[in-house]
Structure 1
Amino acid sequence: MIRIACFLLAGLSLVTGVGAAADRPNIVVVLCDDLGYGDLANYGHPYIKTPYLDRMAKEGIRFTDFYSAAPVCSPSRVGMMTGRSPNRAGVYDWIPPGTQRREDRRDLVHMRASEVTIPQLLKQAGYATAMAGKWHCNSMFNTPEQPQPGDAGFDHWLATHNNASPSHANPVNYVRNGEAVGEIEGYSCQIVVDEGIRWIDGLRKYSAGQPFFLYLAFHEPHEPVASPEELTASYRDVAFSEKEAEYFANVENVDRAVGRLLAYLKESGVDEDTLVIFTSDNGPETLNRYERSSRSWGRADPLRGMKLWTTDAGFRVAGIMRWPRQIESGQVSDEVVSALDFLPTFCELADAEVPAGLELDGANFLPALEGEAIQREKPLVWAFYNALNEQQLAMRDGDWKVLGRLGLARTSNVGAHNIDEIAAAPLVDVEIYNLRYDIGEARNIAGSHPELAERLTQKLKEQYAALLEGSHVWE
């Protein structure tokens, strides 16, 4: 059970020195960008080779029903960091640079200073904290006008606002602790792992035994894709085109980066006491959806839809965890787990204090590591007003997936200009699927099971009403 107390008590319980990590685990989260549910060998891809992630799954647990906080990047990341639906933070879609005023007020959007984050809570509990990779949690990156990674609780950070530029190869747009670093040679996922390894090395040297939280946010396999030639060449015989070969190689390069990270943790003697989580921010991009997405060959098989959809392909993603000291190897679990669960779970592991009254949407996932059910007070709910499919609302409640349409024009933000229209929109055309038997959401059973449909429709209405009431509205 998570202890709830004031921050003063947390500040008095800082733990450093030899032995701390043995009592409380180190935590590493590796987050891919636009990785499809079916893009790894251990999730069924017929060609992409992912031997290190395959081994990670065999040495730990692989989840078949793991969900991100949103079907697109920025809200997914904010939800993961806060343990709350991103709507509560006012992050409804991807965040563009805030260089000019916009009618929909997206220039204002950011993870506000009032949000409570994982690194803040773990830092107060004595953890060292760091991130490297894609930030994408504000519109004004690396300026004092909005909170930056350091303000969110990271002691050390190397980040970009959005994508690696000009591509994953030799990016020029990284910023380290507020200072632009210029071009860095190599591929972004490898650069991110390099930064993480250097930071852990420094921590072990100057603060031996202090537990740490490390967040590695890969840009891969989001466009603009760039992959090592040796890997691309290995897929030309099986890929439909050169660009698909580049995508396949991009995912394998991610696998190699994870392999390097795991090897380092083992060589440094900390892997037994380190929980490593590998997942993605959302489902795969649709090929050629926009001008630069010609290499977006990600697969969501056997799910329906893609990124930006509220069907499962939009946010059901890979979820692999390894923690030798605690997780029995070789597990495959169909327990429903969400990135929203990270904050309450990590706080439990770290003996961190969660502020009284903080409305969380996730739950402690630790029971799932031992084959037991997660105790959720409420189902998982998504309200994504810019969905490419017709339904803006989705709910996962046990085996049931519920979709609902609001009849609104697509929008990327909620502000004074449209909140009245959104609040007045009725829920219509509810669809219900049993995901245990219909993973592809192909057989809508709402019409044939009226009592079930009435019960789940009412539940979605209640859950959405509560979420809407708690959502931030930009002025």
Structure 2
Amino acid sequence: ESEVWTLLRLFFFNILLLHTCSASPPNFVLLFADDLGFGDLGCYGHPSSLTPNLDRLAEDGLRFTDFYCTSPVCSPSRASLLTGRYQTRSGVYPGVLYPGSKGGLPLNETTIAEVLKPLGYATAAMGKWHLGVGANGTFLPTKQGFDHYLGIPYSHDMGPCHNLTCFPPDVKCFGNCDVGVVTVPLMHNEVIKQQPVNFLDLERAYSDFATDFITASAKKKQPFFLYYPSHHTHYPQYAGPGAAGRTLRGPFGDALLELDNTIGQLMITLEKTGVIGNTLVLFTSDNGPELMRMSRGGNAGPMRCGKGTTYEGGMREPAIAYWKGTIGPGVTHEMASTLDILPTIASLAGAKLPPVMLDGVDMTDILLNQGQSKREAMMFYPTDPNEMFGLFALRLGKYKAHFYTRGASHSGTIPDPDCSPIAALKAHDPPLLFDLEADPSEHYPLPSEGDPDLEAVLERIKKIKEQFESSMVFGESQISKGTDRDLEPCCNPTCSPKPSCCHC
């Protein structure tokens, strides 16, 4: 009898939801942290992180324990998030894009914004784009479906280090990174608004931008999509007066608090404009923590290694879904990925999917009913994927098989020698097999030989790997197209000498 009642309740709930969506399409806010580890948020167990707004979203929404990005570095992870396709298909590999990169996310790729535009959605992005600038702004957000953009079009550390004012009153970050590169620009749509950017005022500018966008959309009763890929908590951290010195974690904790403050302001705006009951808010991160920065690099919690590696610490991320009155509070252990966000948003909005091979699946049932995932497996590519090596690892159910392992400079300095850059590429035949439910830290490989059940699991994994790789068509590498100093964004493009004259 209880099962019948549950089914009836879910049936009528879904009918009501469909009616609501048809009457007023849902809004979407997508929050994407930078280099944030699985163990960095208070709601994921960090004892000294100050993240009250994210903790509240997790308490009132759905918190994921098994959520993955697709790459352990920035640009390819962002490409997959926005397209629902592994970065190998779009060509955003190997590594990341730079200020003068000739390539970027190809314009024939369809982003979440472009999926929603035909339905009349207003679209805006703010923060770290990192999917290319190109000649005459070819690859900027405004060319990829976004009506409005405010932000730094690449990573905020891709400028001379001494131009970063990290903490008030005037504490500079000194270093040798990117000497001779233009100072970091703040762009509004396709125009440089400020160069170098004032980092101490940046988060307030983003908050104001988001408030104006949400308020204007709500006033016009226009559904909207806001994408906020934050610079926080990528090294070197910065924070303005509202967060600097306010936490027990030092610069990393202060930067994280500033991100949390912006998210809190977003939620207040959604409440004030009366749209919070019709808005899905999703939060996750682009890759794991940069452990080489030690206490300034983030924390992977119980997961092994971090950024740059295909161990869990490099690609398993915190993730939260919040939708007031629609998503019930809880925790899900279902496997999901950034790949799944595009098809899920398309499903909830009633939008058409792009006519291409998608790697994401609709996770609506997880969000609305805490149901089961449609995702059978998760694939793990290294930072420099190629067709000869293929996948480094594959997760099926609770099992993960490593066909290759390798450390990374991003995960250096920690005691585990397998995370370090001196841990060279190593092939495993048979693959290293881990039970991620019993051993999420990937410390204890299972002795599969002689165990019929585990041997069957490995055979199934190998078959899925073979099928997947046979369907994978590698796109032309955008990053291998190289760089051109003349493409570096300059607010005064005809000035001389560059880069010092690029100042406005």
- The answer as to whether partners of 1:20 and 1:209 remain within 8 angstroms in 2 is no
Matched residue type, 2:366: A
Matched residue type, 1:133: G
- The answer as to whether partners of 1:380 and 1:397 remain within 8 angstroms in 2 is yes
Separation (CA, whole Å) in 2 of partners of 1:168 and 1:38: 27
SS at match of 1:201: helix
Separation (CA, whole Å) in 1 of partners of 2:298 and 2:305: 12
Summarize the alignment of residues 376-395 of structure 1 with structure 2, pairs less than 5 Å apart: 376=375, 378-386=376-384, 393-395=392-394
Q: Residues 195 and 231 of structure 1: is their aligned pair in 2 closer, same or farther, counting only changes over 3 Å?
A: closer
Q: What residue is the counterpart of 1:304 in the other structure?
A: 304
Q: CA deviation at 1:50?
A: 1.1
SS at match of 2:127: strand
Separation (CA, whole Å) in 1 of partners of 2:379 and 2:199: 41
Which shifted more, 454-463 or 214-223? 454-463
**Is 1:128 matched with 2:126?**
no
- The answer as to whether partners of 1:159 and 1:176 remain within 8 angstroms in 2 is yes
After TM superposition, the score normalised by the length of structure 2 is: 0.76
Summarize the alignment of residues 82-121 of structure 1 with structure 2, pairs less than 5 Å apart: 82-97=83-98, 99=100, 107-121=101-115
Counting aligned pairs with the same residue, the percent is: 32
Q: CA deviation at 1:342?
A: 0.9
- The answer as to whether partners of 1:168 and 1:188 remain within 8 angstroms in 2 is no
Q: Residues 473 and 94 of structure 1: is their aligned pair in 2 closer, same or farther, counting only changes over 3 Å?
A: closer
- The answer as to whether partners of 2:95 and 2:384 remain within 8 angstroms in 1 is no
SS at match of 2:143: coil
SS at match of 2:225: strand
**Is 1:359 matched with 2:357?**
yes
Separation (CA, whole Å) in 2 of partners of 1:230 and 1:199: 23
Summarize the alignment of residues 255-274 of structure 1 with structure 2, pairs less than 5 Å apart: 255-274=260-279
Q: CA deviation at 1:311?
A: 0.9
Q: What residue is the counterpart of 1:222 in the other structure?
A: 234
1:119-175 Cα deviation digits (max 9, x unpaired): 01100121111100101002xx26336332111100111121222364475996111
Q: What residue is the counterpart of 1:144 in the other structure?
A: 136
Separation (CA, whole Å) in 2 of partners of 1:20 and 1:347: 12
Summarize the alignment of residues 167-206 of structure 1 with structure 2, pairs less than 5 Å apart: 167=164, 173-182=185-194, 183-184=197-198, 186-205=200-219
SS at match of 2:48: coil
- The answer as to whether partners of 1:129 and 1:156 remain within 8 angstroms in 2 is yes
Q: Residues 349 and 168 of structure 1: is their aligned pair in 2 closer, same or farther, counting only changes over 3 Å?
A: farther
1:282-320 Cα deviation digits (max 9, x unpaired): 1111234xxxxx763300011001011101111111101
Separation (CA, whole Å) in 2 of partners of 1:379 and 1:209: 39
Separation (CA, whole Å) in 2 of partners of 1:285 and 1:366: 32
- The answer as to whether partners of 1:403 and 1:431 remain within 8 angstroms in 2 is yes
Q: What residue is the counterpart of 1:287 in the other structure?
A: 292
- The answer as to whether partners of 2:251 and 2:296 remain within 8 angstroms in 1 is no
Summarize the alignment of residues 395-410 of structure 1 with structure 2, pairs less than 5 Å apart: 395-405=394-404
Separation (CA, whole Å) in 1 of partners of 2:284 and 2:337: 10
Q: CA RMSD in A?
A: 2.9
Which shifted more, 171-180 or 29-38? 171-180
Q: Residues 209 and 36 of structure 1: is their aligned pair in 2 closer, same or farther, counting only changes over 3 Å?
A: same
Q: CA deviation at 1:20?
A: 7.9
Q: What residue is the counterpart of 1:61 in the other structure?
A: 62
Q: Residues 120 and 446 of structure 1: is their aligned pair in 2 closer, same or farther, counting only changes over 3 Å?
A: farther
- The answer as to whether partners of 1:167 and 1:225 remain within 8 angstroms in 2 is no
Q: Residues 457 and 43 of structure 1: is their aligned pair in 2 closer, same or farther, counting only changes over 3 Å?
A: same
Q: Residues 429 and 167 of structure 1: is their aligned pair in 2 closer, same or farther, counting only changes over 3 Å?
A: farther
Summarize the alignment of residues 40-59 of structure 1 with structure 2, pairs less than 5 Å apart: 40-59=41-60
**Is 1:156 matched with 2:156?**
no
Separation (CA, whole Å) in 2 of partners of 1:430 and 1:32: 32
Matched residue type, 2:358: L
Which shifted more, 342-351 or 169-178? 169-178
Which shifted more, 440-449 or 127-136? 440-449
1:225-277 Cα deviation digits (max 9, x unpaired): 113467454445xx5xxxxx111111122111111111111111110100011
SS at match of 2:317: strand
- The answer as to whether partners of 1:32 and 1:221 remain within 8 angstroms in 2 is yes
- The answer as to whether partners of 1:73 and 1:93 remain within 8 angstroms in 2 is no
Q: Residues 427 and 128 of structure 1: is their aligned pair in 2 closer, same or farther, counting only changes over 3 Å?
A: farther
**Is 1:75 matched with 2:67?**
no
1:337-379 Cα deviation digits (max 9, x unpaired): 11100111111111111233x1000100111121211223x52
- The answer as to whether partners of 1:402 and 1:432 remain within 8 angstroms in 2 is yes
Q: CA deviation at 1:429?
A: 5.0
Q: Residues 212 and 257 of structure 1: is their aligned pair in 2 closer, same or farther, counting only changes over 3 Å?
A: same
- The answer as to whether partners of 1:168 and 1:220 remain within 8 angstroms in 2 is no
Which shifted more, 316-325 or 452-461? 452-461
SS at match of 1:219: coil
Separation (CA, whole Å) in 1 of partners of 2:288 and 2:395: 16
- The answer as to whether partners of 2:34 and 2:285 remain within 8 angstroms in 1 is yes
SS at match of 2:135: coil
SS at match of 1:192: helix
Q: Residues 188 and 459 of structure 1: is their aligned pair in 2 closer, same or farther, counting only changes over 3 Å?
A: same
Q: CA deviation at 1:466?
A: 2.5
Size of the aligned set, in residue pairs, is 414
Q: Residues 168 and 120 of structure 1: is their aligned pair in 2 closer, same or farther, counting only changes over 3 Å?
A: farther
Separation (CA, whole Å) in 1 of partners of 2:439 and 2:233: 28
Q: Residues 168 and 90 of structure 1: is their aligned pair in 2 closer, same or farther, counting only changes over 3 Å?
A: farther
After TM superposition, the score normalised by the length of structure 1 is: 0.80
- The answer as to whether partners of 2:200 and 2:241 remain within 8 angstroms in 1 is no
Separation (CA, whole Å) in 2 of partners of 1:185 and 1:305: 30
Q: CA deviation at 1:98?
A: 6.1
Q: What residue is the counterpart of 2:14 in the other structure?
A: none
Q: CA deviation at 1:427?
A: 7.6
Which shifted more, 338-347 or 436-445? 436-445
Matched residue type, 2:31: V
Q: Residues 60 and 337 of structure 1: is their aligned pair in 2 closer, same or farther, counting only changes over 3 Å?
A: same
Q: Residues 230 and 20 of structure 1: is their aligned pair in 2 closer, same or farther, counting only changes over 3 Å?
A: closer
SS at match of 1:395: strand
Q: What residue is the counterpart of 1:250 in the other structure?
A: 255
Q: Residues 397 and 230 of structure 1: is their aligned pair in 2 closer, same or farther, counting only changes over 3 Å?
A: same
